[in-house]
């Protein structure tokens, strides 16, 4: 039985108070935090990079879940691991030799995940499932917080859960985009273990109570 995890997306926090926000999450009992790294090429938006993560690493014990929405992520893996990422998630669409990129992440000692945009087939990662700590199903097109959940991704989560049963029961399934307490029961039922939430989390303080609302919705 896998444990339900909420990974708040800092994209929706107050960037002027990042250190305080991280402290508040820890104080509220969260275990994970989700960093959205965007390069203005893979996605039409730019956020932050390894130096910011490194600076905040010193101030936080949270599990740093780093979602790279960048082209050729293989060029920056070492930087992000050096910055203190606990888990690195690369997009299947952004790297030409996905198996090599995944092996590099594992070899350098971080947990490894691969993300799929809504329209990308699950079969793009089928052969890699045994090597992944987590797979991320994007339930919006990445780039911005506050977008509407794309309903067909629910079936995709369920289909991935079936592949997982066959190839790697330990692998976590993460869902990112438009996750809220309202759709959490369906997402968990479909097979999700880790939900990312930006706007539906940071928009509803206090964080401890909001986390509990998600946990209740997950039946955890
Ligand atoms: C989307 C990012 C998400 C985003 C989620 O490009 O990868 O992590 O911040 O935000 P919400 O929960 O508001 O959809
Ligand atoms: Zn994300």
CA distance 215 to 3: 10
The minimum-distance atom of ligand 1 relative to the CA of 138 is 7
Contact 9, 196 (CB under 8 A): yes
Question: Is 93 close to ligand 1, i.e. is its CB under 6 Å away?
Answer: no
CA 199 / ligand 1 centre spacing (Å):
8
Residues 6 or more apart from 210 whose CB is under 8 A from it?
Answer: 201, 204
The set of catalytic residues is: 36, 176
Tell me which fold the domain 5-218 belongs to: TIM Barrel (3.20.20)
Strands 5-8 and 194-197: parallel
CA 45 / ligand 2 centre spacing (Å):
12
Helix, strand or coil, per DSSP, at residue 69: strand
Which pLDDT score, from 0 to 100, does residue 2 have?
81
In this prediction the ipTM stands at: 0.98
Judged by its nearest atom, the ligand closest to the C-alpha of residue 66 is: 2
Per-residue pLDDT of the chain (220 residues; tens, 9 = 90+): 789 999 999 999 999 999 999 999 999 999 999 999 999 999 999 999 999 999 999 999 999 999 999 999 999 999 999 999 999 999 999 999 999 999 999 999 999 999 999 999 999 999 999 999 999 999 999 999 999 999 999 999 999 999 999 999 999 999 999 999 999 999 999 999 999 999 999 999 999 999 999 999 999 8
Which one of 144, 194, 195, 200 would you pick to mutate in the ligand 1 pocket, going by the greatest count of ligand atoms within 8 A of its CB? 144
Contact 70, 37 (CB under 8 A): yes
**Residue from 25, 6, 18, 82 nearest 56 by CA:** 18
Q: What ranges do the domains of the chain cover?
A: 5-218
Which pLDDT score, from 0 to 100, does residue 79 have?
98
CA 149 / ligand 1 centre spacing (Å):
10
């Amino acid at each position: 039985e896998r444990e339900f995890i909420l990974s708040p997306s800092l994209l929706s926090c107050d960037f002027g108070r990042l250190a305080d926000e991280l402290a508040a999450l820890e104080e509220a009992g969260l275990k994970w935090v989700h960093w959205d790294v965007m390069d203005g090429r893979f996605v039409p938006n730019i956020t932050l990079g390894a130096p910011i993560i490194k600076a905040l690493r010193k101030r936080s014990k949270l599990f740093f879940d780093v979602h790279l929405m960048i082209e050729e992520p293989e060029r920056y893996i070492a930087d992000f691991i050096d910055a203190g990422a606990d888990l690195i998630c690369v997009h299947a669409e952004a790297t030409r030799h996905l198996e090599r990129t995944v092996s590099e992440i594992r070899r350098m000692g971080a947990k490894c995940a691969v993300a799929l945009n809504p329209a990308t087939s699950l079969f793009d990662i089928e052969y890699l499932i045994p090597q992944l700590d987590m797979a991320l199903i994007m339930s919006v097109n990445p780039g911005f917080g506050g977008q509407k959940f794309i309903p067909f991704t629910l079936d995709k989560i369920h289909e991935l859960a079936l592949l997982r049963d066959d190839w790697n029961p330990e692998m976590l399934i993460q869902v990112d985009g438009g996750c809220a307490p309202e759709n959490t029961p369906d997402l968990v039922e479909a097979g999700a273990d880790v939900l990312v939430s930006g706007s539906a989390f940071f928009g509803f303080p206090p964080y401890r109570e909001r986390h509990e609302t998600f946990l209740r919705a997950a039946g955890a």
